[in-house]
Amino acid sequence: MTEGSSPVEPFRPLDDPAALDDLRRRLRATRWPDQPAGVGWSLGADVDYLRELVAYWAEEFDWPAQEAALWRHPRFRARVGGLGIHVVHARAVAPTGPVLPLVLTHGWPDSSWRYQKVISLLTDPGAHGGDPADAFDVVVPDLPGFGWSDGPGEPALDSIAVAGLWAELMTTLEYHRFGAAGGDLGSHVSRYLALDHPHRVVAVHRTDASLPGAVPPAGLTEPEQAWFREVAQWRLTEGAYGAVARTKPQTAAFGLTDSPVGLAAWIVEKLRAWSDCDGDVETRFSKDDILTNVTQYWLAGTIGSSMRTYHANAAIPPEQLERRVEVPSGFAVFRGDVVRPPRAWAERVAHVVRWTEPPRGGHFAPFEEPELYAHELREFFRPFRQTA
């Protein structure tokens, strides 16, 4: 990649000290809600925990230091589909065999932050007790309207459109054949990469099989029927955020864009609920981890544009959702993830060549269990390196 006329340029955000001063002012002026005694997290974010987190955010959190840590991997801005896409592009270190390019796609409510702990494990496995022959060139873009990527001019892009952007991105980075992996929204995008660009995707790895539609297909096995019932119950008790994002994301965006504490509550509650933390979010994410993610959302102003992605995906035609992935697919269904699918469902929707159920980790597995996640990717993609 060269500077100048290249569609890929080195990237570094321009920090505004005034924005950090304004953030601290808002944090110190928070108007706190009441909370019934003894409810803890049962009604949503816990006020006592948020007070503790916000006090740290206002008085001790060092955003420049955390941002510098993020920048230990090369970051660029690529022009694809008319949008500026922020991308981490880290090349394999001292490989001893064919290098497989791998595009990793995050979900919500995060960004390329999800993969920051796993990048070195994938690019330089030899330095972490692995086989140097398993090294990848790693590409981690922020979804449009997330992180430091531009938001689209229209309300949002659905996962099909983003998959098309990623195919263009990989061409821009001079990769013709590559692997794809992701979870949550990243699972959707990786799926459509395999569906719409099968001549380029050598294999696809996912940490979920995507939530099913409301109407079950015919001929479900008993485990699949049980899973549909579980998903329906989960949507009733835990899915309000998704209903808002699919229907009226802009209404929620006003409060979440104006109040940093509201934004933190919205995100932290999901980090806790969806991770393998047994109710204690800081067993998986330190305060610095949490606030690095939340502060990026705050400074970039992307909570509204990120939620509008759900609205776009809700309009994907049913026939697109029913397509089967024939590209070789692997699934690592981590113990603590939400509504974990049965293998029968994965085999219904994809050509499964590897299925594992790691004993630890949740929805944010690359961050929660980076070594386990890196092991899964190394094992799954190893047979496909020669075809890239």
pLDDT of residue 74: 94
C-alpha–C-alpha distance, residues 150 and 167, integer Å: 17
C-alpha–C-alpha distance, residues 172 and 103, integer Å: 13
Would you say residue 244 lies in a domain? yes
Residue 371: name the closest of 360, 387, 382, 357 by CA. 360
| CATH assignment of the domain containing 337 | 3.40.50.1820
Host domain of residue 289: 42-387
Q: Structurally, how many domains does the chain consist of? A: 1
In the chain, the amino acid numbered 96 is T
pLDDT of residue 1: 40
- The tens digit of pLDDT for each residue in 37-46 reads 999 999 999 9
C-alpha–C-alpha distance, residues 58 and 55, integer Å: 5
Would you say residue 380 lies in a domain? yes
pLDDT of residue 22: 98
pLDDT < 50: residue spans in the chain: 1-4
Would you say residue 313 lies in a domain? yes
Would you say residue 29 lies in a domain? no
**325-332 and 178-182 beta bridge pairing:** unpaired
CB 274, CB 239: distance < 8 Å: no
pLDDT of residue 3: 40
Is there a cis peptide before residue 109, judged by omega within 30 degrees of 0?
A: yes
CB 199, CB 170: distance < 8 Å: no
The distance of Cα 245 from the centroid of its chain, to the nearest Å, equals: 16
Would you say residue 369 lies in a domain? yes
- Please tell me whether the overall predicted TM-score, pTM, comes out greater than 0.85 for this model: yes
